[in-house]
Every structure is written in C-alpha cells, then in structure tokens.
Structure 1
Amino acid sequence: MHQPTTEPRPSIYYPYEVFAPWLPSAHGPQVRQQVVIVGAGPAGMVTALELARHGIASVVLNAELQFSQGSRAIVFTRRSMEILQQVGVADRMTAAGLPWRFGNSFYRNQLCFRMEAPHDENDRYYPMLNLQQQYLEQYLYEACAANPLIDFRWGNKAAAVTQHDGYVSVCVDTPEGGYVLESGWLVAADGGRSAIREACALRMEGASYEGFFVIADIRVDLPLPTERLAYFDPDWNPGNTILMHREPHGIWRVDYQLPEGETPEEALRPESLKARIDAQLEMIGFGGTPWEMDWSSVYSARTLTLPDYVHGNILFVGDAAHLLPIFGVRGANTGFQDAQSLAWHLAYTLRGLGGGKLLANYSAERVGAAREIIDEAGKSTRFMAPPAGGFALLRDAVLSLSLTEEFVRPLYHWRTSRPHEYSRSALNSAGDDNALFTAGPAHGAPPQNIRLGANDYLLDHLGGGFELLYFTQGEALPRPLLAVVEQARARGLTLRVTAIGAAQAVAGADQTLADASGRLRQRYGVQADGAAYLLRPDQHVCARWLTLDATRLQAALAMI
C-alpha cells in the first residue's frame, strides 16, 4: 500500500498542511472518466482548471498529501500571469509576489550588463514576478477544490498504466489499498521523473550538461532591490557562476555552481553550504550578516524533450514532456503554456471537433516550442556553465572583454522565457492578410494587451473559446458574418464576437469595447473598419484580415 508521509514538510516561512487521503472505500464503484491527470504540480492543476473552463471534468491524482517541498519555481513571466488570470489565481499571485524587470550581471564584482525587460502602461503584469511555488500550488489547489468539475485525490499514486482500444486503465495505490480507474484520456503531468513516461518506455532527445548547481533558500535581511543578480567567476568560486533572487517572506535564493569533481552529497553537507553562503555574502558586502537555511537541493542542466507528446490516449505535459534548464525561467512557465494548449485541444477533441487532428497539432506546436526553447536555453547554459574546452575559453574571453568593451556585454543576456509563436501551426488561415499587416500580433502569436481604463485591459475581456475581434464604428455587424458565426456555434465551436471601436453597443456583437483614442487599432495595425483578428482558445492568433468577409471567416473556421 502507498503510504505518503503524514509529517508536515519543514519550512521557516510556509505552514505546510497535510491533507486527508482520498480513499476508495468511501466513494463506491468507479465509473470511467473523461480525463485523468496524473500529477498535481502547477502544470497538472492548470490543465485541470483549463479543462474545466471548457466544460470538461477531470480527476487529478496526487501521490503526496501536501504541496511540494521547497520554493522550486520562483519566477513567473508576464505571459504566465496572463494564463493564471484565466484560471483565477493571478490576483492572489500579484498580491503575494514581488514584481521585477531588471537583471544585473557582475564580473570580478563589477557590473558589466544590466538587463531591462520591457514594461509599459498597456501591461497589467510586470515582466517577472517572484513567488515560491508552494503558494502557487496552494492557490491552484484551492481553485481546483472550488470547481465541481475537478475531483482532486490526495494520496493517490498511479502505480501502473495500461492502454486499451480507446481508453486507459490506471492502477491507483492508496493508503488503504489499490483500485482501478478507467479514463478516455490520461494526462501525464508527473514531472521530470515521470513514471508514466517510464512505463511507456519513452526516451527524451537532447543533451545533459556537465556540472551541478546548488539551490539554497535562506532567510536573511539584505537591503537590495528585487532584481536578478548574477556573479561570474567570483574569487570564492573561480570559473563558476552564482545567481541570487529575492523571494517574499525575507527569503533569498542563492544558486551556485559546484567546483568540478564535487558530488551533490558533498555539496549539501551543512558545513559546505555554510562556507559557500558566507563567502557569497562576504563578496557582496554583507559578511557576518546572520542567516537561516530553509531548503536546499542540487540540480544539473538538461535540455531534453519527447519527440511526440501524444502516445495513444496518453498525453504528456510540463516536465513529463520536456526537461529545461532554469536559466531564463523556462520550467514552470513553459509548463503553463503546455497546459493551456493541451486543455483546449483536448476539450475540442472530446466535443468531436477537428477530425482527430487537434491533438496532433498540440504535439507539433508544443514540441516545436520545446525545441526552440532548447536552442535558446542551450546558449544560456553554455554561457552560465560552459563545458570545458572551447566553450569555456570563449565565455572567459567575453567576461574579460566586458570589463572594458561595451559591444560584448549584451552576450550576458539570459534569453528570458517568452511565449512561443505558432507561426507554422496547421490551424493558421492560409487565405488571410497576415503578410499585409505592418503591426500587431502575427500568426501564432499571443495577443498584445491594451489598457482600456484605470483597471481595465483587453485581456480581461477575452478567454474561454475562440474570439473574433471585429473593428468597426458601425451600429451593427454584417449579417453574412453573423450567419457564419451561428453556423460555427451550431457545430459546437465556442465563438464570441467582440466589436472594437464604437462608443455604443454594436448589434450582433457579444460585447463592444470602445477605442476612442485609437490605441487598440494602432497596436493591432488596423487602419479601417472591417479589419478583424481571430484568436484561438489559448488566445494565440490564427487569422487576421485587413477586411473580413463571410467567405474568408468561413475558410478560417474550417481549419478547426
């Protein structure tokens, strides 16, 4: 029998709660489910919440009885916050987290590069927000627990998985014994050491990099701003790299590379941790400052992905699908994008739409995104922790030159995680005006937010299905367009029409957003009435027109 620990995890700032296990004896015979999600980390819970937004019920299996140990993922990007807004937890994240937009790189204790992430009045969220993963998991869990379409089962471990013709059976182990759960689809969100991936005998493609890094979370009072700090080749750790981040509740993340040959076990000895952290605080001018350890771990950088995220009726998401280095805050942030994409592709497949091609499109798009990230992350990793030989020689030359030469300093840039643009998606309209626009989000790109009022933004009004943004100052939408919209709805497509530009409500539109200043038109490259954008349920653009008519809209919707 599966016996997860019932002792609360230790922490000096987060009060862990141990939840009661879900026991089969209290719930009677199990019926076949539409979707079972194995793994209740951020990617798994966002998948469940996104499925629920599309009306799809799911069962979430969590092998543990409490949230994950340690801060783990702590930096969440603007696009992640926009996704979390859709599932209802962004306000809590904003209230609890620390926003930031600057990153500093030091060589020999001299500032050599200062990164500034773009931010303007049209952005509801900062480029980055720091918050420990336990809080994110708590907010997501509480949203799941409040949703009647999500059956969350603590202390339930997927012990074995069998694929059948059109469904999957899962042998689930609990503290009182096992039971079998059948599901039309199984989502593997069980992390980097995915048991589902292993059970399917699947192997990832990519590279693992030399060397190890220690993550240490300490409570310490440092009068420094919330900015990323990176130190290259410090005296106390020659040839290696140290990162620092401020977290809420007086916690600082100290992330340092181990000298060659030192084992993870040696690195995590208390005396080793103390010596390294004391040396880092001394180097930055706070030697002797008292500090307290909360959590520590060791990781190595890997850039790996499955070549396909769909295997029969098993779907992979997050770290179960790919393993990415933390440089550039790619792990959890990429997992959110996976979850958002998978949920709508799966929901529409369950509705009988897409002719079976939607899940193949999910895999193609997200594998493409992972490969793009791997390419970028590989560059970052080879700079942060260069392999011996030519890479190390080149990195050291850049460091040395950066003390006096301005032109090499941008090479310090850490290539921050960004949303993938599905420019080659099979769902993009081939007959629209994408190539003729001079501004605005192109095929496959996420939307650009626009501030509409004091606390009112464009993305506050979007989400939940397909969105047709129709630019007009007229009194009503063209009847032929509305006829196509009704046809799409009749076949099961959730499609909302937003009229943009008119001061009064536009007849036929589901909502009207005024644009008296013309800011929205300008940012979206719209010059005349009749222009339009079509957004997918994950808000990415799949078509845009300088002038939209019924025939062109029908052709775009036929892609789904």
Structure 2
Amino acid sequence: MSAAYEFVPYPFTARTYGASLPPLHDGRDPQRRPVVVVGGGPVGYCTALGLANHGVPVVVVEADDSVCFGSRAICISRRSLEIVERLGALPGFLAEGLPWTGGRSYYRDQEVLHFRMPQDAHQKLPPMVNLAQYSIEQFLLDACEKRSDLIEIRWQSRLVGIDSRDDGARLQVSTPEGDYAMDADWVVAADGGRSFVRDALGLKLQGTSYEGRYVIVDIQMESSRPTERLAYFDPDCNRGSTVLVHKQPGNVWRIDYQLQEGEDPDAAILPENVLPRVHSLLAMMGETAPWSPIWTGIYKANALTLNRYRHQRVLLAGDAAHLVPIFGVRGANSGIDDADNLAWKLAYVIQGKAGEGLLDSYSDERVYATHENLSYGTKSTEFMAPPSFAFDLMRRAVLSLAVAHPQLASLINPRQTSAITYLRSPLNAQDDGALFGAGPVAGAPLAECPVQLVAPSTSAEGPRMWAGHVTDVVQNRFTLLAFAPQPTLLQALQPQAEALLARGIPIVVLPVLDAAPAGAAAVVDAEGQLATLYGALPGAVYVLRPDGHVLGRWQGGLHAPADLAATVRHAIDKALA
C-alpha cells in the first residue's frame, strides 16, 4: 500500500474513564435508585439530561471507557438541535457541526435532483448539521458532567442481568473492579441495536431486515466543496449500485457505498478492496487533493421495531426499541426524540405528578413515530437498493427520465427526517383546527418564528426584553400562549394555572402581545408574524407540553376559559385514572 493510503487517526481525542464501583454492602449497592439508564450514547445522555432538568437523579451505566469510536450517526436534525438546546449542550453542536440545507443526486454523470430542506428567515437553527457521533456524545457528556449533582455515570460497567418486576428491577452489573447488584424503580434501556436489556426480557424486533450490505469509509481530505448530501446512482466507480458522500468537520469525509450482489462482505472491507474504490470515486468527483483513510466498517439496512416500548418498569428507547434505515438520517434523531418524549413523563411519574399511565403515552407516541419513520425510511432504502427486479426496473426508469421530466425528481428525494406530529396521541385535547386555517395542530411540534421575549424586572428600568424565537418558550413546564388576550381571559386563566402549580404541575401563562407589557412575562409579536403563522385570532390559546408539542388550541370566545387549563389536567389526570 502506498504512503498516501496509510490509515490516520480521527481528528478527535477521546477521554477515557476508569471503572466506576459504588460503595457496596454484601455485594449490592445499598441505595435504591429512582432511574438507571443503561447505555451512555446520545439517547442515554439525552435521557439523563432531560431527567436532571426536572430534578430527578439518575445513574448511567456504560460498558465502555469513553465515547464511541468509528463512524456512526453523523447528521443531526433541526428538531434534535432544539432538544439539545433545552438540555444545555447546543453550543458545541453549532460551533463544530457543519450546517447544510440540501443535496444533489446523480445518475451516472448527470445531476437528476437538487433538493433543499425547509429553511427561511423564521428559523433559528439550520435544518441539519453534520457532526460525528463521537463529538455528539462528547458534547452531551460534557453537559452531563456539569450536572454531577444529579447525574452519576459509571464507566466500564456492563449490565449482565436484569430481573424486571412490577415495582422496579434488580440489575446485575459487572466491572473490572468487581460485580454487584443494584435496585432501581425504573430502567431506561438505551443500550443500542444489540440491546442486552431487550434480549434479556425476551423481546423481539419485528419488521424487515434488508439483505444488501453497505461499506462505510471515513477519509481525511481537504476540499472546498460545500457541505451537502451527495448521492451517486450507478456511477462509474460502483456500477449498478449507489454511493453516498457527506462532508464532516475536521476535513473528514464519510463515504457509504453499496456492495454488488455476490460480493463477500468480509473481503469487501479489506483495504486492498476498499481503497481503490474510494480513489475511483474521488477521481469521478474531480477531487485531486491527497487523502488518507481513517476507518472502515460495514452495515445493512433494517426496518425493525418493538410493538411496545414499555415493559413493566423498563422503558426502551433509541436503537434498543427500533432500528431505522440510515437513509434520511432518522436513527440518532429518532432516538433523541424518544429521550425528549420520555424524560418529562418519567419525571412526572417519579415525582407523583402523574400516574404510570402517562408512560403508556410515551410508547403510543413513539411507536407511532417509528412507523412514520419506517414508512419513509423503507421507501428510501428500496430506492437506494432495489429489493427485486421490478424495483430495480422502476428505479432505472425514474433515474433515466428525471433529467427530461423534472416532475419525477420527487421520487428520488431521500425524504430527510422531520419532526413527527402525534396525530393520534391519547394526550391530545380538542383542536379547533377548522377555525385556525394555519399553525401546528394538536400533537404537532411548534412552528418556528422570531419574536421578542419579555421577562419581568424589579428595577426601575422596567421589563427586560430580548430577541428570540417561539421555541424558546418551551421549558420544563406546560405553557399557555394566549394571543392578544382581553384582561378577562388572563384573569380567568391565571387562577387555573395557580391551581395546577399548587398540584406541583409547572405551568406559565404567556400573553402574546404587539408591545411589551408593564411588569409581566410575555411574548411580543410586534408585526403579527407569529399570529399569522399560527392562524391565531385575538383570544386564541395554544397549550404546549414540556417537550414543545401542542396539547390543544382554541380560537377566542368559543369555549369557557376553564376548558383551556383543563387541557393540562386531561393529560395528567387521564394518566392518574
């Protein structure tokens, strides 16, 4: 092998951690833990941070001694960035990640699609950033370490046994320093696609596992090429198959290519077979700079899920609960959304604010979301790697005709991940959707829009106001957004909010006004942009969940104010029943 092809390390140095062993009594951790999270990847760390934000202590048991190695998740969506911001880890993602808004697809030597994801002046965050999973984990880990008052991470701690019961679970943990048992009220399984917890509970993923194999090659190369997703169908360097290319931070490039039918997967990842293929691809792309390989791996596409994500006191999330095809970058992003959905609900149950039934809604909503993700992911997978002669014939026809008939290009679109609307959530309240004409429906995440945010001040200078976005109002609480409310509406809403606060349910009433009020928190929508985007007439109310999804909405004057705060009681009391 020539010097140009000597493998080089990633431009990242992982910190390593020694084995963590708590004080033991008779081989057991004597302290029963409210929550144990199994697995310290993106999903496990996000779950721990979400619980800590609600004041719940959590222990994370992680089998390895550092963040992950190799090429795994590399694309983080806008929705995930919104979640990461609420968890306190966003700055690193934006400082290091490479934002992108679209991509190009080629059939042989012709461009057949140039797609762009939704991006306009309303948006606070880019639709996607490219960031390697080792950096994703490190930034989340850094945030966890800042919350050491509530988050304990036990490294080199491998789960080797679990006894799930109606009132909790007994866990058996093995470390280089010794083995021990620990008890937990709740267990979150975030231990990945080869989940020990899932297997130990006898749970089986259902769905489709595709036969095709894909090789991953990470290389280091300087290039001025913009950051965008590149797909090559039937290129000269990989005839009959597909190649994907993503630019990453640190001059790292991720290349995924499909193996030909009959190729030996073990032989396919040997350097003598991988590197000439990469060289041919780069030559086809017109990239002439020196490059060096970093890492190679192999995978296949899966479209699999459990039917339920709650089993007694064990909750499964991320790849432990579902395996989604990588096309459309739904894997890590769907797992981060799992964590966001789960954390506030589990915290409310632990703190006695809701009954265990609230956790069934976690399963209901996220299983629904997985089926939505699988629907799009399966379509993309079958286009990337046709599973039959008929599919292959269709793909060839679409690709060959797309240049002359641009309307066919939508069939090539990779359908990048987007936030899921829980249309059939058991938590959704009545929605006066027909009276709005615009805006997020019950179960939907918030639509973004710039606003001014106002916080009350005790100083003589008056309220403090700053530029922000509507997603900034999403905190660890329920929120009532009351658009241009009359004083009578606010007078009716505030006592109900106070009654919920007295029950321990955090909630705030925020009027949406065209100017800053005196001495009160508010959202200022001076130009009426937010009201137009949300289809809100004066007196309209949106009720938001702690994860930013809409619980319900009403236009003004059509319902008694009691119905508005009752939306929150519906979500909580239904679970207590």
TM exceeding 0.5: yes
Structure 2: distance between partners of 1:25 and 1:109: 64
Separation in structure 2 between the aligned mates of residue 106 and residue 341 of structure 1, nearest angstrom = 38
- 1:366 equivalent in structure 2: 366
Contact map agreement 2:494 2:509 (CA 8 A) in 1: no
Q: Give the Å deviation of 1:502.
A: 4.7
Task: Give the corresponding residue for 2:132.
Answer: 132
Partner of 2:88: 88
Q: Equivalents in 1 of 2:518, 2:414: separation in Å?
A: 46
Question: Alpha carbons of 1:538 and 1:330: their partners in 2 closer, same or farther (altered >3 Å)?
Answer: same
1:451-490 paired onto structure 2 within 5 Å = 451-452=450-451, 456-472=468-484, 478-490=490-502
Matches within 5 A, 1:308-327: 308-327=308-327
Matched residue, 2:524: 514
Residues 87-138 of structure 1: CA deviation (Å, up to 9, x unaligned): 0111211011111102100001111110011211111111110111111111
Please list, as runs of the form range in 1=range in 2, the aligned pairs for 1:406-445 lying within 5 A after superposition: 406-430=406-430, 432-445=431-444
Residue pair 2:8, 2:293 contacting (<8 A) in 1 also: no
User: Aligned partners of 1:405 and 1:550: how far apart in 2?
Assistant: 54
Question: Bigger CA drift: 29-38 or 310-319?
Answer: 29-38
Kindly tell me: are residues 506 and 334 of structure 1, through their superposed partners in 2, closer, same or farther at Cα, counting changes over 3 Å? farther
1:57 Cα deviation (Å)? 1.1
Question: What displacement does 1:473 show?
Answer: 5.7
The question of whether the paired residues in 2 share the 8 Å contact of 1:471 and 1:531 is answered with yes
Task: State the shift of 1:141 in Å.
Answer: 0.6
What is the Cα deviation at residue 462 of structure 1?
2.2
Query: Is 1:556 paired with 2:564?
Result: no
Aligned mates of 1:408, 1:140 — CA distance in 2: 41
Q: Residues 290-348 of structure 1: CA distance to partner in whole angstroms, max 9, x if unpaired?
A: 21111111010000000000011110000000001110000000001100001111111
Distance 1:279 1:310 in 2: 48
Letter in 1 for 2:230: L
Cross-structure match for 2:54: 54
Native 8 Å contact 1:218 1:251 kept in 2? yes
How far the C-alpha of 1:12 sits from its partner, in A, is: 3.1
What per-residue deviation string (whole Å, max 9, x for no partner) do you get for residues 250-283 of structure 1? Answer: 1111110011122321111011111110110121
After superposition, the Cα gap between the structure-2 partners of 1:473 and 1:307, relative to the gap in structure 1 and judged at 3 Å, is: closer
Q: Would the aligned equivalents of 2:306 and 2:322 in 1 still touch at CA under 8 Å?
A: yes
> Alpha-carbon deviation of 1:435?
3.3
The answer for the alignment partner of 2:398 in structure 1 is 398
Q: In 1, are the aligned partners of 2:304 and 2:322 still within 8 Å (CA)?
A: yes
Deviations along 1:382-406, one digit per CA (max 9) or x if unpaired, are 0011113211111111112123222
| 521 and 34 in structure 1: CA distance in 2 versus 1, 3 angstrom threshold | same
Is residue 545 from structure 1 mapped to residue 529 from structure 2 by the alignment? Answer: no
Task: Answer whether contact 2:29 2:181 (CA < 8 A) is retained.
Answer: no
Residues 506 and 512 in structure 1, CA contact (< 8 A), matched pair in contact too: no
**Could you tell me the percent identity over the aligned residues?**
43
- Corresponding residue of 1:264: 265
Partner AA of 2:551 in structure 1: C
1:480 Cα shift? Answer: 2.4
- C-alpha spacing 1:489/1:90, structure 2 compared with 1 (3 Å): same
Partner of 1:206: 207
8 A Cα contact 2:74 2:132, kept in partner = yes
Structure 2 partner of 1:4: none
Q: Distance in 2 between matches of 1:51 and 1:489?
A: 19
Task: Report the equivalent of 1:6.
Answer: none
1:12 and 1:197 map into 2 onto residues whose CA distance is: 32
The Cα shift of 1:20 comes to: 2.0
Q: Work out whether 1:23 is the aligned partner of 2:33.
A: no
Cα offsets for 1:395-423 (capped at 9, x unmatched) = 11111212322221221100111111011
RMSD: 1.8
Question: Which amino acid in the other structure matches residue 437 of structure 1?
Answer: F
Amino acid at match of 1:479: Q
2:570 is paired with a residue whose SS is: coil
Deviations 1:215-247 (A, max 9, x none): 111001223110111000112312100000100
User: Would the alpha carbon gap of residues 527 and 155 (structure 1) be closer, same or farther in structure 2, given more than 3 Å must change?
Assistant: same
User: Aligned-pair distance for 1:352?
Assistant: 2.6
Residue 222 of structure 1 corresponds to which residue in structure 2?
A: 223
Taking the aligned partners of 2:537 and 2:486, their CA distance within structure 1 comes to: 15
Q: 2-side partners of 1:459 and 1:408: how far apart?
A: 35
Structure 1 range deviating more: 204-213 or 302-311 = 204-213
What is the SS of the residue equivalent to 1:125? Answer: coil
Counterpart in 2 of 1:36? 36
Question: Number of aligned pairs?
Answer: 547
Where in structure 2 are the equivalents of 1:300-315 lying within 5 Å?
300-315=300-315
Asked if the contact 1:188/1:317 (under 8 Å) is kept, the reply is yes
Give 1:449's aligned residue: 448
How many Å separate the matches in 2 of 1:385 and 1:535? Answer: 41
Deviation for aligned residue 1:443 = 1.1
What secondary structure is seen at the aligned counterpart in 2 of 1:172? strand
Alpha-carbon separation, structure 1, partners of 2:516 and 2:487: 8
1:228-239 correspondence runs (5 A): 228-239=229-240
Query: Aligned partners of 1:77, 1:426: CA distance in 2, in Å?
Result: 26
Q: Is the CA contact (8 Å cut-off) linking 1:51 and 1:58 kept in structure 2?
A: yes
User: Paired residue for 1:497?
Assistant: 509
Give the letter aligned to residue 543 of structure 1. G
The offset of 1:145, in angstroms, is: 1.0
**Please, what TM-score do these two structures have when normalized by structure 2?**
0.92
1:531 aligns with 2:540: yes
Q: Is the 8 A contact 1:473 1:502 kept in 2?
A: no
Give the counterpart letter for 1:471 in structure 2.
Answer: F
Partner of 1:164: 165
Structure 1, unmatched stretches of 5+, are 1-8
Counterpart residue number, 1:5: none
How far is the alpha carbon of 1:525 from its aligned partner?
Answer: 0.7
Unaligned runs of 5+ in 2: 1-6, 453-465, 572-577
CA distance in 2, matches of 1:334, 1:474: 40
Contact 1:35 1:185 in 2 (8 A): yes
Q: Report 1:323-362 matches (<5 A).
A: 323-362=323-362
Asked whether the equivalents of residues 217 and 297 of structure 2 are also in contact (C-alpha less than 8 Å), the reply is: yes
Deviates more, 1:157-166 or 1:445-454: 445-454
Aligned twin of 2:462: none
1:212 is paired with a residue whose SS is strand
User: Counterparts of 1:92 and 1:108 in 2: how far apart (Å)?
Assistant: 38
